[in-house]
Amino acid sequence: MCGIVGYVGNRSAVEVLLKGLQRLEYRGYDSTGVAFQKGNRIEIEKSEGKLENIFKRFKEMDLNRAPVSTVGIGHTRWATHGKPTTQNAHPHRTGSIVLVHNGIIENYREIKEDLMKKGHEPQSETDSELFGFLVLEELKLKKSFIDAVRFAFQKLEGACSVVVMSENDPDTVIGIRNGSPLVAGIDSEGAIYLASDPQPLLDYTKKVVYLENGDMAIAKRSGLEFRDVITGKVVQRETIELQWSVEQIDKQGYPHFMLKEIYEQPTALIDTFNSNLDRIDPTSFPLAKHPGVDKLMNASELHLIACGTSYYASLVGKYWLEKYARVSTQVEFASEFRYRDPVLDDRALIVGVSQSGETADTLAVLRDLKKKGKATAAVSNVRGSTISRETDGAFFTSAGPEIGVAATKSFLTQMGIFLLWTGAFLERRKKGSADGLFEETVHLPHVLKNYLDDSSGIREKIKEAARATVTKKGFFFIGRGSSYPLALEGALKLKEIAYVHAEGYAAGELKHGPIAMIDENVVVIVLAPKDGWRDKTISNLEEVKARGAQIIGVGDPSDRHLQDLSHHFIPLPTLKNEDLNVFPLSIVVQLFSYELATLKGTDIDKPRNLAKSVTVE
């Protein structure tokens, strides 16, 4: 939610900021803006709508006026308080102070009332702007800029981060993190960057510091310093080397990041296996040793806590972990779990599953339970993310940066992690058996690579099915067993990027209500791979066929019956282990949503109303 950048260096600040915002646009795209120092003034350009509006503005601007400024801040917004208008866009100016903000100021009503009593008149509907007035109030008490920002920040309640400049303190950008992520980095020329995610820094440096909550980063020409926002004392922070490359955050010829990321899945899975397995260890499924592995292996039961797509990946994990490894596994939406009073075993492990590692609800659950003395772990795609740092042990998917707002490769690699866990439990506890599971697991990326290859013809078949159904009014994805979470994920993808009504249903549940909706205007995408559930799913399919639905069958190439029932048929690769069908199935549901959204002409990488990292509750 909201992307913020800050820069103090020798390049054109506007160029660095705009490029940085481009890298962060997936965090929010309701409005954008930049502020840059020009002499002892700070100028602001902002606009509602996407970043291209600001780009146009700078293009149209008389180049002589266009600043060769080398200090500035920028913002791309996902609106919480106030509509996505230019007025509400960041940066906000209050007197000499200019700021950008990400997150929520929970006590903004009290702050606003108090400020208005003191004669201040906010110009926007945002909570963010109020912070500027708080800084001005502190400056009235003759505090330095740094102290004024520090004390003003202490008045805020809620998770947020701010980046601030002052016309009276040129060449200085201050960032504070409390909850919402903020990273800082210095390039080889000594230029300093601040951003909500590391992506904008990758063009200049791979060495970054993830600020801790309560950290203040002070960027000046003389260098970068970290202080504690409460005490004002200097603190030392560890620099980490990013594993990501610039190529990974470019589209590389693909029309959308989402498509690129779908095609990256085989590599992402290999990388995830490689980074989580200790291949020197001769046992099968040898998880590379770290504190998370011990927590996992000692757990009496698992609680996988997640939101959205990460929740569906966790549901797949539950099937495997219970079936093969006999580990009781509960999966729950973080936003629900948080307000329940669940019964947990003393040795229960609470696992936050989160691509970004920043999702507010998931983080809140982990914090609450950690406080209560429970063991916690994380599955995340971002090293250095809050969730990965605050849990007792983190497992990382190595999907590389996922820029498309719709999760794809993170979903598939999260399933990859659960598969490794299942194998590791099997190995250690010897409670179940899965002949050849490891061999099939390591072979899986190759199967997926071939499946995605043009020669498989899969994309064409999916395109054809999308073309034939694009005008239909509703879509049901149905499946049983581990295909059921895939049905849920397929419906979520389609809603997200194609804006059509779609539902994921357990095939057996259709006749308990939703079958009433089935007619010739409805498409049923039936996920019926060759597995123990296939026959039952086919019976359910007969029921919808009789009611006139358009049917897209997804199953084994040898399944004549399914093909006869389907108007369109998408063959899956044949896998020995039926449980691994979820991997190619996920490619099918992703590509189908992608193709349908392409036909609808939606903004696939930045679907309306969404943001990649949901850092508000």
Residues 479-508 that bind ligand F6R (CB under 6 A): 492, 496
3-state secondary structure of 41: strand
Start-to-end Cα distance in the chain: 11
2 has catalytic annotation: yes
The least distance separating ligand F6R from the CB of residue 185, rounded to whole angstroms, comes to 22
User: Which range of residues in 104-112, 227-235, 308-316, 474-482 is near ligand F6R by CB under 6 A?
Assistant: 308-316
User: Which range of residues in 152-160, 182-190, 283-291, 301-309 is near ligand F6R by CB under 6 A?
Assistant: 301-309
Q: Is 406 in the site for ligand F6R (CB under 6 A)?
A: yes
Q: At what angle do helices 582-600 and 437-452 cross, to 10 degrees?
A: 20
Q: Which is nearer to ligand F6R, 507 or 616 (CB)?
A: 616
Q: In what order do the strands lie in the sheet with 172-178?
A: 92-94, 97-103, 160-166, 172-178, 215-220, 223-228
SS3 labels along 557-600: CCCHHHHHHCCEEEECCCCCCHHHHHHHHHHHHHHHHHHHHHHH
In whole angstroms, give the CA distance from residue 102 to residue 181. 9
Q: Which is nearer to ligand F6R, 386 or 483 (CB)?
A: 386
Number of residues in contact with ligand F6R under rule CB under 6 A:
14
Q: Which is nearer to ligand F6R, 148 or 377 (CB)?
A: 377
160 has catalytic annotation: no
The least distance separating ligand F6R from the CB of residue 489, rounded to whole angstroms, comes to 8
Closest to 106 in 3D by CA, of 331, 486, 360: 360
Q: Is 362 in the site for ligand F6R (CB under 6 A)?
A: yes
Q: Is 356 in the site for ligand F6R (CB under 6 A)?
A: yes
Q: Phi-psi bin for 285: left (phi > 0), alpha (psi -120 to 50), beta?
A: left
User: Which range of residues in 145-153, 297-305, 353-361, 464-472 is near ligand F6R by CB under 6 A?
Assistant: 353-361
170 φ, ψ to 5°? -65, 165
In whole angstroms, give the CA distance from residue 400 to residue 384. 13
Q: Is 614 in the site for ligand F6R (CB under 6 A)?
A: yes
SS3 labels along 428-452: HHCCCCCCCHHHHHHHHHHHHHHHH
Q: Is 355 in the site for ligand F6R (CB under 6 A)?
A: yes
Residue 289 is classified by DSSP as: P
Q: Is 310 in the site for ligand F6R (CB under 6 A)?
A: yes
Question: Which residue lies nearest ligand F6R, judged by its C-beta?
Answer: 308
Q: Which is nearer to ligand F6R, 78 or 285 (CB)?
A: 78
Q: Which of 318, 545, 606, 612 is catalytic?
A: 612
Q: Is 307 in the site for ligand F6R (CB under 6 A)?
A: yes
The least distance separating ligand F6R from the CB of residue 10, rounded to whole angstroms, comes to 35
Strands 501-506 and 474-479: parallel
- In the set 179, 308, 317, 384, which binds ligand F6R (CB under 6 A)? 308
The answer to whether the peptide bond before residue 91 is cis (omega within 30 degrees of 0) is: yes
Residue 443, C-beta contacts closer than 8 angstroms, at least 6 positions apart:
none
Q: Which of 2, 260, 307, 606 is catalytic?
A: 2
Q: Is 586 in the site for ligand F6R (CB under 6 A)?
A: no
Q: Are 353 and 313 in contact (CB under 8 A)?
A: yes
The least distance separating ligand F6R from the CB of residue 360, rounded to whole angstroms, comes to 9
Judged by the rule CB under 6 A, the positions of this chain that interact with ligand F6R are 307-310, 354-356, 359, 362, 406-407, 492, 496, 614
